[in-house]
Amino acid sequence: MPLTGNSYGGLDSPYFTTLEELDLWAAKPTKPLDAVLEYVPRPPSSKTRGKLLVCHDYKGGYTESPFSMAYTFNFWAADRRLHLVSNFSHHRWITAAHRQGVKMLGNLIFEGNRDEDDCLRLLVGRLPKSKTGPARPAPDFRSLPLSPHYARLLADLAHQRGFDGYLLNFECPLRGGVEQTRALAAWITLLVDELKSRIGSHAEVIWYDSVVITGQLAWQDRLNGFNLPFFLSSTSFFTNYTWSPSHTDRTVEYFRSLAQTASHVAPKALHDIYVGIDVFGRGSHGGGGFGAYKALEHIAPTGMSTAFFGPGWTWENTQDMPSFTWESWFEDERRLWAGPRAGERVDVPISPPNRSGELACEHGAFSAVRSFFAHAAPPDPRSLPLHTTFCAGVGRSWWVDGVRVFQRPGRDGWTDIDKQTSVGDLVWPVPLLAWEGDDARTDALPAATSEITLDEAWNGGSALRLGISAPGEEGEDSAFRCVWVPVQSVTVTQGKLYEATAVYRIEQEDANVDLDIALSVKVMTSPSTYSDGFDVAPQSVSIAPLPGGWTKLCIRFESSTPLAEPTLHAALGLLVSIDFDPAKAPNAPLDGTLSWEVAATFRPLPILTLSGAEDANSAWPLAPSAERWFPRFLYFNIYAQRYAPGAPANLPFELAGVKTVTFYVQGVTDRGEVLRWDQCVFIDVFLP
C-alpha cells in the first residue's frame, strides 16, 4: 500500500563503495531479507536463439521515490532467458524480476584510480591488523597470494539480499600486470563456486569486456585472446558496445576455433556471449534509441546474446521536456520494446557515418526490441503463483476490492516496483483477437484496443482497459459472434489441475447488444497461434455480489492431449460474445515500527477413527497436498483509526491530537485474495 508523507526508511547498508565497508557489513549479524521473492526459473528452452541481458545504469544513481512516479521496466516476456542487472540494494526490483522467473544480478564495479587498491585487495583478502607473515619464506618466487575471503562475502551478500550473481566491471588498470590478471581470473572461479554453493546452481557471473590480460584497460568490443581467460572463468561474457558490424562474425569464428576441452567453469555456448548495445548511442551501431534495432539485426542471426545497456534512455532523454508525463514516457517505452500501434510513426535516428574500413550495411524499417526474441511465459503457478493486477509498479491511487482507499493529491503519484505484476503480455499493447468456434469465418475481426489505466482498479494501482468494437450486421447468421481475446501466457504441467480467476467490470455497453464474457485457456504455440487442448470447467463463485459492478469468473482446467514435453505454454484469455473518498487530514508525526506475524488455522477435526497403535492411517489428514500450502502474501494494506473501544472499523480517521491509535493490517495473498476483516489483525499504539 502506498505511503503518505514524504520520508521513509531504507535498508541498513544498502550498498558498499569500498571493500572495507563490505567487511564492516559482514562483521554484523544479518539475516536474509524475508520480503524478497525467491528465484523460480522458467522452464528450459529448446530454442537456440540468444538471451537478453538488460543492464540498467540510471543517471545520478537510482532515484526512484515512493512519493512520485518513476522509471519502471515491464517487458519481462521479451525472452525466455532474460536477465536484468541492477544495483543490488534494490530488493523491490529483485522481487519484480523473480516474479517473472528472471534473474537479477548485482554490479561489482571498479572505476578510476581510486579503486585500484581495492582491485588488489579483492584478490589478497582482508588486510591483517597484526604483524604477520609466512612462517618460512618460500625458496622461489611465488605468484600473488589469492584469498577466497571476498568471494565468500560477496556470495553471502547475494544470499542475504536475494539476487542471483554479479556483473564484474573492472574499469581501472591493474598495475600488477599479468600476475594480477592471472590471479583475478582464478578468483572469478572461486566466486562462481561460492555463489553456486550459497544461492544455487542458477548463479551467474558475467565478465564485462574491460581490462585485458596485460592489466591494461582496453575494450576489445569482441571476444578474443586478450580477454578469453576471463570468459573461461566466468559463466558469460559481455562485450563493449562500440563494435563494428564485422566484429560479430569475427567473434563467432573465434569462439568456434576454441578447443572445447579448455578449462571452462562450465561448457560454453554462443549464447553465453552477450554483445553490447548502448541505448544512448555512444559509439553504438545504429545510433542507439530507436535505431538500436540496427545493431540487433547483426546480433540476432549469429545465435549470440544481447546486452541492452542503459534502457533508461526513454526516460532520461525526455524527462526535462515541459510536456513530459509518466504516460508520455510509457508510450515511448512501449514503442521501443513492443512497437508502434497501427498508424503510429517511429522516428529512427540517422546512423553515424561508417568508421574507416567499415563496409556499408542496409537496414529495413524500425523493429521493436521484443521482435528479436522468443516470447517467454512466467514460471509454473504450482511453483510460483501467478497473480496480476496489471500494475506497472506506479500509480496515483490505491484500490482494495474495487474501492479506492488512497489517493495522491493532484497528479502526484507513487512508485513501488515490488507491487509490479505482468501487464498482460498477450493483450497489451495490441490485442490479437481470433474467432472462436468457427474456423471458416472470413469476415473482419472486431477492432480492439488495450491500455493500462491508472484511473480505476480492482486491487492495486491500475487495471487493464480493453475496448472491442465491431460494425453491426444484418441477417440471421450475424446475430451471434464470439471472439477469443488472449490476455496472459502461463506455463503449465501436463496432467495437473489448475484454477484461474478473473475480475472484470463492463465500463460501457451498447443497450442493443447482449454481451457475455467467459474465462478460458488454450494451448499457445506462439503469441498469435492457439489451439484447444484443455478440459475447462467453469466454477461457481459463492460470494456476495462484488461492489461497483465488478464480476468474478473462475475456471478449473487441465491438459487433455498428451504432448512430448512435460510442460507447455498456455494462454489465459476472455471469450467475449459480442466512490468512496477518504477523509482528508494533515499527516500527524508518528515514529515507530509495526511488526506482526502470520498464522494459519485448520478446520475442526472430525472424530478420531484410529483403531490402535498399528493403524497405518494418519489420525488426521496431513498438511494440504499443494507444494506450498502455508499462506504467502504479496503485500499488506495498513489503516489507522482513532482508538474507540468496541467501535466498528470506520477508516480513515483524523489522528491529530489523539493518544491511542489502532492500526489494522490486512493481508493480500500471492493469489490476489484480500483477507476478510475477521482474518486481519489490529495493533493498538499509545502515543507519547
DSSP string, 385-429: --------SEESEEEETTEEEEE-STT--EE-GGG-----TTTSS
The predicted pLDDT at position 473 comes to 62
The per-residue pLDDT for range 497-546, each reduced to its tens digit, is 999 999 999 987 777 777 789 999 999 888 888 888 899 999 987 666 78
Tell me, rounded to whole angstroms, the distance of Cα 5 from its chain centroid: 28
The predicted pLDDT at position 367 comes to 96
CATH code 2.60.120 region(s) in the chain: 394-577
Parallel/antiparallel/unpaired status of strands 516-526 and 529-531: antiparallel
403 near 580, Cβ under 8 Å?
A: yes
359 near 245, Cβ under 8 Å?
A: yes
CATH code 3.20.20.80 region(s) in the chain: 19-62+70-125+146-372
578 near 448, Cβ under 8 Å?
A: no
Task: Give the lowest-confidence range in 31-45, 111-125, 485-499, 605-619.
Answer: 605-619
**Bridge partners, 52 (sequence order):** 306
In Å, what is the CA distance from 516 to each residue of 230, 424, 448, 646? Answer: 60, 21, 16, 45
Parallel/antiparallel/unpaired status of strands 236-238 and 204-208: parallel
- Residue indicated by cell numbers 542496409: 362
Q: Distance between CA 243 and CA 220 in Å, rounded?
A: 8
Q: Indicate the fold that domain 19-62+70-125+146-372 takes in CATH.
A: TIM Barrel (3.20.20)
Burial class of residue 417 (count of CB atoms within 10 Å of its CB; 0-12, 13-18, 19+): buried
Average pLDDT value for residue range 440-449: 82
The per-residue pLDDT for range 450-476, each reduced to its tens digit, is 999 999 999 999 999 999 887 766 555
Nearest to 565 by CA among 601, 523, 600, 527: 523
The per-residue pLDDT for range 48-96, each reduced to its tens digit, is 688 999 987 766 555 667 788 889 999 998 765 566 665 545 788 899 9
Tell me, rounded to whole angstroms, the distance of Cα 244 from its chain centroid: 31
The predicted pLDDT at position 66 comes to 78
Task: Give the lowest-confidence range in 8-22, 412-426, 564-578.
Answer: 564-578
- Residue indicated by cell numbers 526490483: 93
pLDDT classification of 664: cutoffs 50, 70, 90: confident
**Bridge partners, 395 (sequence order):** 414
Residue 619, C-beta contacts closer than 8 angstroms, at least 6 positions apart: 608, 610
The predicted pLDDT at position 495 comes to 87
The predicted pLDDT at position 443 comes to 78
pLDDT value at 580 more than 50: no
pTM (predicted TM-score): 0.85
Average pLDDT value for residue range 170-182: 93
Q: Using alpha carbons only, what angle is made at residue 590 by residues 587 and 592, rounded to the nearest 5 degrees?
A: 145
The per-residue pLDDT for range 399-410, each reduced to its tens digit, is 999 999 998 877
pLDDT value at 161 more than 50: yes
The predicted pLDDT at position 423 comes to 93
Average pLDDT value over all residues in the chain: 83
The predicted pLDDT at position 328 comes to 95
Q: Which CATH number fits domain 394-577: 2.60.120, 2.40.30, 3.60.21, 2.60.40?
A: 2.60.120
The per-residue pLDDT for range 230-251, each reduced to its tens digit, is 999 999 999 999 999 999 999 9
pLDDT value at 578 more than 70: no
Average pLDDT value for residue range 132-150: 72
pLDDT value at 122 more than 70: yes
The predicted pLDDT at position 659 comes to 67
Nearest to 491 by CA among 383, 633, 391: 383
Q: Distance between CA 90 and CA 206 in Å, rounded?
A: 19
More confident residue, 647 or 325: 325
